[in-house]
Amino acid sequence: MKTFSSVTVKKHKYLVKIRFVRSYNHLRGVLRRFKFNYNHKLAKLDIHALPYPTDWQKLRRYKRLVVEIGSGHGELIADLSQKRPDDLFIGFEIISKFMRMGMRRLSSVDNARIFKAEAYGIIPLIFADETIDETYILFPDPWHKRRHHKRRPLTTEWFSILHKKTTSGGSFLFVTDWEDYYDFVSAQLETCDAGWDIKTGEYKPESFGLPQTHYYKKWLKLGRNFRYILGRKRQSNIS
């Protein structure tokens, strides 16, 4: 018997599969039949078994919801989740080896999970509007060859989507060692009519209370420069 009905659609330049469930009670029943406790450790959750959008507060009570795009070796999400046990951290990594590496780093915490998924396609589906407090995009693939520029996902359209998903006063942090990609993202934000307050500058992890990740150390040894773009969603004036 099929548990979920699904349909594959093209959304935001990616093919994604949307699954439908009748209710959270239905979902709990399904998971119990597979001897799975809905309130079990985040490490056991399967992204394909969750309804879209997911009510993360029903999974785990938290103060702030933090998302990392491209978790790499998992240093960032592991460091922050240990320092901030009351917050919830959700990372996405498309490379299986890196996803497993990151999850091993999270073995001592239960407020963080890295999913193997294409973040730019899944974030518009799995998060409800105005629920993400922080988004980290550190050293994404710059698609540096000119013929590959069309593959760059950090577009005006995507930043508008992220704006809808971000809470009032929430933020994103983009970091790159590739000057051309920095210029590209800056240009995309200039044409984005969503309400972001932008701050830019030279990136140093300690300035943001962040660890030195694998790729930061790798590019630092090669003498590269690092630039950041910090976007903060303008707070609503409604009192």
Q: Which of 86, 87, 141, 197 is catalytic?
A: 141
- The CA distance from 119 to 114, in Å, is 11
Distance (Å, whole) CA 166 – CA 184? 22
- Beta strand 166-176 with 227-233: parallel, antiparallel or unpaired? antiparallel
Q: Establish whether 177 is a catalytic residue.
A: no
Q: What's the token pair of residue 181?
A: 């990609």
What DSSP assignment string belongs to the chain?
Answer: --S-EEEEEEETTEEEEEEE-S-HHHHHHHHHHTT--TTS-GGG--GGGS-SS--HHHH---S-EEEEE--TTSHHHHHHHHH-TTSEEEEE-SSHHHHHHHHHHTTT-SSEEEE-S-HHHHHHHHS-TT-EEEEEEES-----SGGGGGG----HHHHHHHHHHEEEEEEEEEEES-HHHHHHHHHHHHT--S-EEEEEEE--GGGGT----HHHHHHHHTT---EEEEEEEPPP---
**Rounded CA separation 163/90 (Å):** 18
Residues marked active site are found at 141
